[in-house]
Structure 1
């Protein structure tokens, strides 16, 4: 995720008062098998062998191939003829690393001609710098792994509407993969009713998962509030208004910004910055499995609630 400053304690305290929070009313037991799979996938995608997944690098290609294998194992087909959708990277100089690629798949809904939902996460990170590998377990292997977990559930119980799974490349370079997606969309953009973007959802340092986007699209907030009621983590709303310090407004800080720029409603799920944000210490062993499981459960419940109501969303002109 691209952010430009951390919240101070004063701003954090004020934002909590203004934004409010939804606290879990119950804490269902954690399933060892589900949590184990969640953490196993997180460790695999953020392993040293992925070399930090920098866009255009061999490590990035390795990560992309891993995601495709996982999708194939789950049984999710590509949206088009192939899973990978290449695009030109903006580079200082042309070279073999000047091509990026999104991975895009589709879970067909029972009403395939209706509106569609995009669930997105970015698989790229910062690569290797001065001999150190920036594994990006939270940023954003966590979002990609959660997307795979949700895909398994949607394949087991089909959604009412098409769900597009978008694993974006080159987010760290200015949302390049997401911008390429909306510039040359693999489905008509007018069909996309909402983007649910997952970026940095595994670290428990701040004790809460934030939902941004409801200040821009208030009609989406009740769905998130309802999904939060049986979620074993604290859900807070905010980080999406212009009155905040630079960097504290997350409206355009991750791939959802490309959708918002096209007038497509979004909900962004993410944690606040932690000591390992954009550092080589962002590793899977820093993640609390129970917290990560809780954020995955919230995202999964949110997707289900949005899917059930997608056809009743207001017309696009009324969404901004």
Structure 2
């Protein structure tokens, strides 16, 4: 039975190729834009997360603190869900860091010994808004001499301002993108509605004959619904494919421009996984648009009888 319906749907498409092309083109444009906006929102969220978690908190340890107390503090931080990327820097490591920083003047490195450098624990927070709270708690630890925060370097609130701006940009990208996609989705819905309504009108005599022969409503409606689903699926795949080609073409340039900022996954499998999730979501949305448009067209036609 399904083969008969598919053949009928294919014959309807061949009879009116320009209507089919119009429907597929509008749907293709809709999902091309939807794919691009999805990647833009994903990338902006990654950039925002990068800058939110970039600053390091450095807890400088008192000279008389023993290894047991330092390990206890590390375990406490390790169990804190707000904290990540914990690293202990010993006095010897601190000296090596100093020597690298003063490599242009080796004499400075030779004049100091590890004993003058405090050991420290470096870590990041999962969200920049948690930094102040975590810093205040860390300062209260007995073995902590002082706490530094890299976001406070070179002008205190600079990084916070950057994060706030990124949040604003991300919000506007998301809001404008969703609004535009909804507009295009509504346009696709109405184009499908018009095309399917015209298709039903041109088949009125055929439908009446089938009804006189005792054909069930499902038998009459199924080819029309399948035709709409075909338009939607072809439009989704076409729009998604065009967007993916454009994205893959620009990815090397984007990654090289942003360098250390992980704006897009560098692992090809992870990136393809994201693209396939977008495709699956768009196919589901396209099928819903097709079902809604075709069923509404059929319902309007039934009321006119």
Q: By percentage of residues, which structure has more helix?
A: 2
Q: Under TM normalisation by the shorter chain, which class is it?
A: under 0.3
TM-score normalized by structure 2?
0.21
Instruction: Flag the structure with more relative contact order, 1 or 2, with Cα contacts below 8 A and sequence separation at least 6.
Output: 2
Q: By percentage of residues, which structure has more strand?
A: 1
